[in-house]
Amino acid sequence: MNTYRYPKSRELFARAAKVIPGGVYGHLGPAESCFIPVEAFPMFGDRAEGAHFWDVDGNRFIDYMCAYGPNILGYNDPEVDAAALAALKKGNCTTSPPSLLIDFAEEMVDTVAMADWAFFAKNGGDATSFALMIARAATGRDKAILVKGGYHGVAPWTQKKGQPGITNADVSNNLYVDWNDIAAVERLVSEHRGQIAVFMATPYSHPVFTDSELPKPGYWAAIRKICDDNGIVLAIDDVRCGFRLDMAGSDHYFGFKADLMCFCKAIANGYNVSAVCGIDALKDAASSIMYTGSYWLSAMPLAAGLACVRKMRRIDAARVTQSIGKELTEGLVVAGKAHGFDLRVSGVPSMWYMRIADDDSLLLHQEWVAECVMRGVYFTNHHNLFINTAISKEDIALSLEVADEAFAIVRGRHPKA
């Protein structure tokens, strides 16, 4: 199998480095995305269609990152794009908001089991920050219980004490517990009685660099009860999991009812909109907060979101992506085993995490991922991966073929590992 080269990507990155901090910043850049080694990865994309994207050097990739989640129906989905373009032509970012705002809110209320209302913003971080503010407005309390390793965006309150740009005051109201540790939550609630506004967590634990962990039996029921007994708002950050576990919401998937749910990523197949859904009891608190942005009520992404949610419901995108993910990950584990590697897969198959567990440095995993990427199967090293509904049987077959060759190459380099 031929391996890819990226001369144009390199050339463009050198240009970018002169005028952009870090060249490409954030989660799509070589640092945050752990391009190891950097030579194995493309830096810039050129076009995309369905389950694939092409980089600026013309290399095609089967994309298992899905733009870190937004691509759920395949790139350039005709239904979503048609709705978005029609809204754009009619008028986008206008002085009076489009009535699409109501249509989309109604669709969210019909789709998400816990939702009595919906509020739209742009990014996942807008949604989680708003959820925190709603909880504070509703309870008159300051503190938040968060799970260690949980990611809720990049707003200062979501970051850690001691990190660049973060003051102690930014995070002074955060209290942290380990995932699945009910006793720790009880302890914090007892120690800070009457001070905790919200318990915020992802539906299951999916941090970077670490195996994903599902809630242990009874976990969410216990957390729900602690929140109810102590007047604490239960907010679920469904930004990453949303619509890949359950179209009715990930709380529904795990059998409990959240007070607030945050959505982004898959909600509009790549168009920029996020949402907070809430229960009726928190509607007044939500409306009492001044929270808005220049583009939050633009028609185009609202139309895209509406079309995307409707299509996802029609085809049951959560079920489809889990089915594709299961087939792929089972094949990857078998391929690894054939070469004597222990490939550990964790999380829900539509957004699984994987690592070769034969060394504690993850070097073998990094080598394997690099070999896959250079053969057109785009994995990333230490983040969970994503499935979209456009991935075909042929894509999976080719991916497994590439994975097998990559495993063979790594085994050849490390015969005793």
Kindly indicate which of the ranges 17-25, 61-69, 299-307, 318-326 contains the residues binding another protein, using the contact rule CB under 8 A.
Answer: 17-25
Give the angle subtended at the CA of 371 by the CAs of 368 and 377, to the nearest 5°: 100
212 binds another protein per the rule CB under 8 A: no
Task: Pick one of 15, 37, 330, 394: the residue that binds another protein (CB under 8 A).
Answer: 37
Task: Tokens 């954030």: give the residue.
Answer: 26
Kindly indicate which of the ranges 11-19, 122-130, 248-256, 274-282 contains the residues binding another protein, using the contact rule CB under 8 A.
Answer: 11-19
Residues 6+ positions from 210 with CB-CB distance below 8 Å: 149, 353
30 binds another protein per the rule CB under 8 A: yes
Enter the tokens of residue 71: 């691509």
Query: What binding mask, one character per residue, do residues 326-365 give for another protein by CB under 8 A, x or -?
Result: ----------------------------------xxxx--
Q: Measure CA 252 to chain center.
A: 18
Which 77-96 positions form the footprint of another protein (CB under 8 A)?
none
Which 159-178 positions form the footprint of another protein (CB under 8 A)?
160-164
State the minimum distance, in angstroms, from the CB of residue 381 to another protein.
8
How far is residue 129's CA from residue 83's CA, in Å, rounded to a whole number?
29
Q: 278: how many CB neighbours lie within 10 A of its CB?
A: 27
39 binds another protein per the rule CB under 8 A: yes
Residue 58 φ/ψ region, left for φ over 0, alpha for ψ in the -120 to 50 degree band, beta for the rest:
left
Which 103-162 positions form the footprint of another protein (CB under 8 A)?
160-162
| CB of 167 or CB of 190, closer to another protein | 167
State the minimum distance, in angstroms, from the CB of residue 209 to another protein.
5
Kindly indicate which of the ranges 12-20, 90-98, 135-143, 222-230 contains the residues binding another protein, using the contact rule CB under 8 A.
Answer: 12-20
Q: Which DSSP state fits 24?
A: S
Q: Which DSSP state fits 37?
A: S
Q: In terms of Cα–Cα distance, which of 71, 45, 31, 16 is closest to 267? A: 71
| CB of 276 or CB of 343, closer to another protein | 343
Enter the tokens of residue 383: 């983040």
Q: Which DSSP state fits 370?
A: H
Which sign, positive or negative, has the C-alpha torsion 286, 291, 297, 303?
A: negative
Contact at 8 Å (CB) between 148 and 179?
Answer: yes
Which 55-74 positions form the footprint of another protein (CB under 8 A)?
none
Question: From start to end of 188-232, where are the E strands?
Answer: 196-201
How far is residue 268's CA from residue 72's CA, in Å, rounded to a whole number?
8
| CB of 252 or CB of 355, closer to another protein | 355
97 binds another protein per the rule CB under 8 A: no
25 binds another protein per the rule CB under 8 A: yes
| Dihedral angle of Cα 183, 345, 266, 271, to the nearest 10 degrees | 120
Kindly indicate which of the ranges 7-15, 190-198, 213-221, 250-258 contains the residues binding another protein, using the contact rule CB under 8 A.
Answer: 7-15
| CB of 37 or CB of 255, closer to another protein | 37
Q: Where does residue 355 rank: exposed (0-12), middle (13-18), buried (19+ CB within 10 A)?
A: buried
State the minimum distance, in angstroms, from the CB of residue 7 to another protein.
13
Task: Pick one of 4, 43, 261, 379: the residue that binds another protein (CB under 8 A).
Answer: 43
Contact at 8 Å (CB) between 333 and 368?
Answer: no
| CB of 164 or CB of 415, closer to another protein | 164
Task: Pick one of 8, 29, 186, 357: the residue that binds another protein (CB under 8 A).
Answer: 29
How far is residue 142's CA from residue 81's CA, in Å, rounded to a whole number?
42
Residue count at the site for another protein (CB under 8 A)?
A: 33
State the minimum distance, in angstroms, from the CB of residue 34 to another protein.
6
Per CB under 8 A, residues contacting another protein are 10, 13-14, 16-17, 21-25, 29-31, 34-39, 43, 160-164, 209, 360-363, 366, 381-382
